[in-house]
Amino acid sequence: MRQCVCGVRIRSRDNLCPACLAEYGADSAHWPDWVAYLVREEQREADRARRHREYALCDEVAAGAIDDRYPSEMGPAAIAAAWAMIREMRGE
């Protein structure tokens, strides 16, 4: 989950909450500078977190800390753990 410029939690794919979208519009070219800046910073942070997760996973695989088999090959506990991680990444 992300945070809108007004502080409200929004979906990861959104830039603004419905109230701010109504106030500032969907065209970022017409947003006040401070709104555009905060939205860019929020996106940078989301991108940084996404890249960090990918690199961390690669590092753990390279170090042998993660088994490269599919969860279905490792049993019910691995499947449950995989679904829990997916739910966490989705913000559910």
Q: How confident is the model over 5-47, as pLDDT tens digits?
A: 999 999 988 999 999 999 999 999 999 999 999 999 999 888 8
* Residue 47 token pair: 């991108």
| Domain boundaries, position 27 | 2-90
What is Dmax (Cα atoms) for the chain? 52
Residue 25 is predicted with a pLDDT of 95
| Category of 62 on φ-ψ map: left (φ > 0), alpha (ψ -120 to 50) or beta | alpha
User: H-type helices in 1-92, by residue range?
Assistant: 18-24, 33-62, 71-74, 76-90
* Residue-level pLDDT at 80: 86
pTM for the model stands at 0.55
Give the number of domains in the chain: 1
Q: Rounded mean pLDDT of the chain?
A: 83
| Residue with the two structure tokens 């170090």 | 63
Does the pLDDT value for residue 55 go beyond 80?
A: no
